[in-house]
């Protein structure tokens, strides 16, 4: 039998979270292996698609500290956030300069960010990539984890990281208890050319069938995130461009005019995955493999990146990264942020689509309170920027 290749950490999944973690761990002296099933030249890695990511301020700090922002990357700043509600009262306008920052975050196309992460990872010493390759089985003993790949290659490490998405087979095999809720909604993603052209304002509009977001993109375009019941989104994928524009105008309300030239559409089913304790014996789950949230308020990728930064902090002094004490430290440090982010996004997703009068009144009063009360608004802004306590070392603002 072939001898196993030895590494300190094996990461299953080379998407946005997995690649970020590999860069951070290797930069701290760990020998890292990344297993990725999709050929990098295939151009259809699920994380590296045409979605527009709202990368909040804390996440920009993390990516900057990892060196990912050093190369060319198209970034559209968000300096103002407009939150409105269709068919009811409640309007919140958040402006970055009123909160002492130059921007709340940037909008970046997932494909571009993925390619920058891949370039950075491949130029970082200490990262071995097994791609295209899949993890077939793994076995844990006192000293480490034995991983067998589909090709028959064997890897040996101290720690196995599940960064393989919502349906993570590693999370399940490692016995990490989780719950899964299907929202029976899907997100349809595309972009349009508005008139006037987009600037640095992000819009989120809550409608009876789901949120509608407009995000600034290069060349004055807007990225649209249209959320509705899954069967409605399936039908919308077949609309003509003219019908799409007409329906978008109707759903967006009176504040928008002149949509034109819609781009290619893509759709994604929406589910909630919650893993209260995302660690097992010499295993840890990060990103969507641990907690997958509704895209309302654009928290998903940012939550995963905070997992990455939190794990880097937890393992900063670890000689054996899979030892129970370090994994327990990680789980404890991330428990509050993960629970609060899941609760926040799930509440928004359910509240604003609830047809009952008490829920509609409560949603409107909640928005009005955030618009009027400075303390609530500051708390909302700090959370939206990703600064939930404890703030990881990489996420902190630098003078």
* Residue 103, in any domain of the structure: no
pLDDT band of residue 357 (cuts 50, 70, 90) is very low
pLDDT at residue 131 is higher than 80: yes
Tens of pLDDT, residue by residue over 68-105, are 999 889 999 999 999 888 766 567 889 999 999 999 99
* Residue 280, in any domain of the structure: yes
**Does 133 share its domain with 203?**
no
Tokens of 207: 């409608």
pLDDT at residue 1 is higher than 70: no
pLDDT band of residue 369 (cuts 50, 70, 90) is very low
Task: Identify any residues that bridge with 198 across adjacent strands, giving them in sequence order.
Answer: none
Tokens of 356: 């009952």
Percent of the chain with pLDDT over 70: 89
Position 256 scores a pLDDT of 75
**242-263 mean pLDDT:** 89
The dihedral through the CA atoms of 6, 12, 13, 17 has a sign that is negative
Residue 193 belongs to domain with CATH number: 3.30.9.10
Chosen domain end from 218, 236, 270: 270
**Does 59 share its domain with 148?**
yes
The dihedral through the CA atoms of 351, 356, 359, 360 has a sign that is positive
Cα 312 from Cα 159, distance rounded (Å)? 13
If you average pLDDT over every residue of the chain, what do you get? Answer: 89
Tens of pLDDT, residue by residue over 5-34, are 999 999 999 999 999 999 999 999 999 999
Position 90 scores a pLDDT of 60
Cα 303 from Cα 384, distance rounded (Å)? 11
In a 13 Å sphere around the CA of 209, the CA atoms on its Cβ side amount to 15
Tens of pLDDT, residue by residue over 207-229, are 888 899 999 998 999 999 999 99
**Does 231 share its domain with 158?**
no
Cα of 109 vs its chain's centroid, Å: 12
Strand 201-207 with 210-216, pairing: antiparallel
Cα 382 from Cα 203, distance rounded (Å)? 18
* Residue 99, in any domain of the structure: no
**Does 279 share its domain with 367?**
yes
**Does 315 share its domain with 377?**
yes
Residue 214 structural domain: 182-270
**Does 23 share its domain with 114?**
yes
* Residue 357, in any domain of the structure: yes
**Does 48 share its domain with 144?**
yes
**What's the total number of domains in the chain?**
2
First to last CA, the chain: 54
Return the number of other C-beta atoms located less than 10 Å from residue 339's C-beta.
Answer: 13
pLDDT band of residue 41 (cuts 50, 70, 90) is low
Chosen domain end from 270, 304, 336: 270
Residue 67 belongs to domain with CATH number: 3.50.50.60
Cα of 183 vs its chain's centroid, Å: 17
Position 381 scores a pLDDT of 86
What b/e sequence results for 138-177 when a residue is b if at least 16 CB atoms lie within 10 Å of its CB, and e otherwise? Answer: bebeeebbbbebeeeeebbbbbbbbbbbbebbbbebbebe
**Does 253 share its domain with 367?**
no
Tens of pLDDT, residue by residue over 299-323, are 999 999 999 999 999 999 999 999 9
* Residue 80, in any domain of the structure: no
The dihedral through the CA atoms of 37, 39, 42, 43 has a sign that is positive
Strand 91-95 with 105-109, pairing: unpaired
pLDDT at residue 353 is higher than 60: no
* Residue 49, in any domain of the structure: yes
Position 71 scores a pLDDT of 83
Cβ burial of 185 (10 Å; 0-12, 13-18, 19+) is buried
**Does 291 share its domain with 375?**
yes
Q: Which of 286, 281, 290 is nearest to 323 (CA)?
A: 281
pLDDT at residue 148 is higher than 70: yes
**Does 168 share its domain with 295?**
yes
Tens of pLDDT, residue by residue over 329-340, are 999 999 999 999
Cα 378 from Cα 87, distance rounded (Å)? 26
Chosen domain end from 270, 285, 309: 270
Query: Any idea what DSSP says for residue 98?
Result: G
Q: Which of 26, 21, 20 is nearest to 8 (CA)?
A: 26
pLDDT at residue 150 is higher than 90: yes
* Residue 399, in any domain of the structure: no
Strand order in the sheet with 80-85: 91-95, 80-85, 201-207, 210-216, 222-229, 179-192, 266-274
Position 206 scores a pLDDT of 86
**Does 305 share its domain with 369?**
yes
Tens of pLDDT, residue by residue over 264-285, are 999 999 999 999 999 999 999 9
* Residue 397, in any domain of the structure: no
Task: Identify any residues that bridge with 106 across adjacent strands, giving them in sequence order.
Answer: 55, 77
**Does 133 share its domain with 18?**
yes
């Amino acid at each position: 039998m072939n001898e196993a290749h030895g590494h300190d950490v094996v990461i299953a999944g080379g998407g946005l979270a997995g690649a970020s973690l590999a860069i951070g761990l290797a930069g701290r002296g760990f020998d890292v292996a990344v297993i990725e099933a999709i050929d990098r030249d295939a151009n259809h890695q699920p994380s590296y698609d045409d979605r527009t990511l709202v990368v909040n301020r804390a996440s920009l700090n993390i990516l900057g500290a990892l060196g990912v922002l050093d190369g060319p990357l198209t970034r559209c700043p968000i300096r103002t956030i407009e939150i409105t509600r269709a068919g009811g009262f409640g309007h919140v306008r958040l402006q970055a300069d009123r909160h002492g920052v130059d921007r709340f975050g940037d909008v970046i196309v997932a494909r571009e960010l993925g390619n920058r992460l891949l370039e950075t990872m491949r130029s970082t010493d200490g990262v071995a990539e097994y791609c295209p390759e899949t993890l077939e089985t793994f076995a844990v003993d006192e000293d480490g984890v034995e991983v067998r790949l589909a090709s028959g290659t064997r890897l040996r490490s101290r720690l196995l990281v599940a960064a393989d998405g919502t349906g993570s087979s590693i999370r399940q095999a490692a016995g990490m208890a989780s719950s899964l809720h299907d929202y029976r909604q899907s997100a349809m993603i595309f972009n349009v050319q508005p008139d006037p052209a987009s600037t640095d304002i992000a819009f989120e509009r809550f409608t009876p069938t789901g949120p509608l977001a407009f995000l600034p993109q290069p060349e004055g375009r807007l990225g649209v995130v249209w959320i509705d019941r899954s069967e409605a989104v399936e039908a919308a994928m077949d609309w003509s461009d003219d019908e799409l524009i007409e329906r978008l105008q109707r759903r967006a309300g009176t504040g928008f005019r002149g949509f034109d030239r819609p781009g290619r559409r893509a759709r994604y089913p929406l589910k909630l995955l919650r893993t209260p304790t995302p660690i097992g014996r010499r295993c840890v789950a990060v990103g969507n493999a641990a907690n997958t949230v509704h895209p309302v308020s654009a928290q998903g990728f940012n939550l995963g990146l905070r997992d990455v930064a939190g794990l880097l902090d937890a393992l900063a002094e670890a000689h054996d990264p899979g030892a129970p004490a370090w994994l327990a430290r990680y789980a404890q440090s991330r428990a509050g942020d993960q629970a609060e982010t899941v609760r926040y996004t799930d509440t928004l997703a359910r509240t604003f689509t609830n047809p009952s009068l008490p829920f509609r009144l409560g949603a409107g009063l909640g928005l009005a309170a955030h618009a009027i009360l400075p303390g609530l608004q500051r708390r909302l802004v700090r959370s939206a920027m990703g600064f939930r306590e404890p703030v990881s070392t990489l996420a902190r603002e630098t003078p």
